[in-house]
Amino acid sequence: MSGAPLLPVAEALARVLASAPTPLPSETVSLHDARGRTLAEDVAALRTQPPFPASAMDGYAVRAADIAEVPASLAVIGASAAGHRFTGSVGAGQAVRIFTGAPVPDGADTILIQENTRAVGDVVVALESETLGRYVRRAGLDFSEGDVLLAKGRKLGPPELALAAAMNHPTLPVTRKPRVALLATGDELVRPGESLGPDQIVASNTYAVAAYAEAAGAEVIDLGIAGDRFADLEASIRAARDSGADVLVTLGGASVGDHDLVQTALAREGMELGFWRIAMRPGKPLMHGRIGDMRILGLPGNPVSAIVCGVLFLVPLVRALSGDPSAAADRSEIAVLGGDLPANDSRQDYLRAHITGTRDGHPLVEAFSRQDSSMLRVLAEAECLIVRDPYAPAAGAGEACRMVRL
């Protein structure tokens, strides 16, 4: 396998997404628990909004014909407030005091705003005329009962939740959250805050990859750190299966060194290898496969490589499993180079970069001079990745490029 040609990034992503041919099963959750979730079905309005003609302003409900010539004096016969309608009818020469959102009484067809009036006891004087229907929100102005307003695959943010509530839905059908199990590997790793041996480092990849997975809609299961022993690795893999994980993400140990045991341990637990090693930088040792219904994504151990691969492969996989119809969409965008770049080699390159401004309506981006895949400080300062195709020629400042936002 080590001598096989490296897989192009686009083909690798297509294979990862092909492992999620259909979204996960649906469940019904309350509106309070639906933020960030993906709709599993179309959702139609259960009521008309507004359900009655309503006032858009504070003022008086009148007949437009009665204020065609001003000043005009009208007898105030009652009041209509939100939640407390006026039950009578407005006749010629009459008005009803009305407040924003209140039902417009029968007989009235226009709202005379209070700024254009003068009240004298039980009489209101119209100082300016209004056109027929002015400031009246007709019934169904927003939507009508039966209208499908939220489509299957829609991600639910604050506006969508408000709309669903207005549609009179206390609960919504959403795709179950993908369960993503994360397993860091290596004798050299310890958790932050724990005692460090002279040859050990702090495990950092889990926290960034978990954050990206959760932001994409996953439920994350942290399996901790497995040492460089088959017994430890195999026990952790079985724990991932027992947890019901839809995706097992391994961090490190997928390369070719004598202590890189992850791929062998996965094979011993029944993994069908999809691919290993892709033509990208950073992230060449990316691995993909499955054990039964559990997908496997083996990310490199270098921090930047793991995080970049998480952005490019794990996030789209989580979105696909969540039912997002745009999971496979190209999320890169046009940018303008703020500095020169040398010609690229055979691997697709993802250069950590910062956005320095805009030019011609596009972000102006400049790659950091240091691109080592171990350097988290540079990644934390980066806002984006400049994408360089294989064998891309040298490019100068001011030329167009493509970038992926972090």
Q: Say what the pTM is.
A: 0.88
CB atoms within 10 A of CB 76: 16
Query: How much is the mean pLDDT over the chain?
Result: 95
pLDDT over 70 at 258, yes or no = no
107-116, 259-268, 350-359: least confidently modelled range: 259-268
Torsion, Cα 207 210 214 215, to 10 degrees, reads 60
Let me know: does 164 contact 174? Beta carbons within 8 Å: no
CATH number for the domain harbouring residue 39: 3.90.105.10
302 in any annotated domain? yes
Mean pLDDT calculated for residue range 114-121: 95
Cα–Cα distance, 309 to 146 (Å, whole number)? 43
pLDDT digits (tens, 9 = 90+) for 38-63: 999 999 999 999 999 999 999 999 99
CATH number for the domain harbouring residue 90: 2.170.190.11
**pLDDT at 1 (0 to 100):** 44
1 in any annotated domain? no
Instruction: Please tell me whether residues 205 and 311 are part of one structural domain.
Output: yes
Q: Identify whether 325 is preceded by a cis peptide bond (ω within 30 of 0).
A: no
Which residues form the domain of 347? Answer: 333-405
pLDDT over 70 at 116, yes or no = yes
CATH number for the domain harbouring residue 399: 2.40.340.10
User: 3-state DSSP call for residue 4?
Assistant: coil
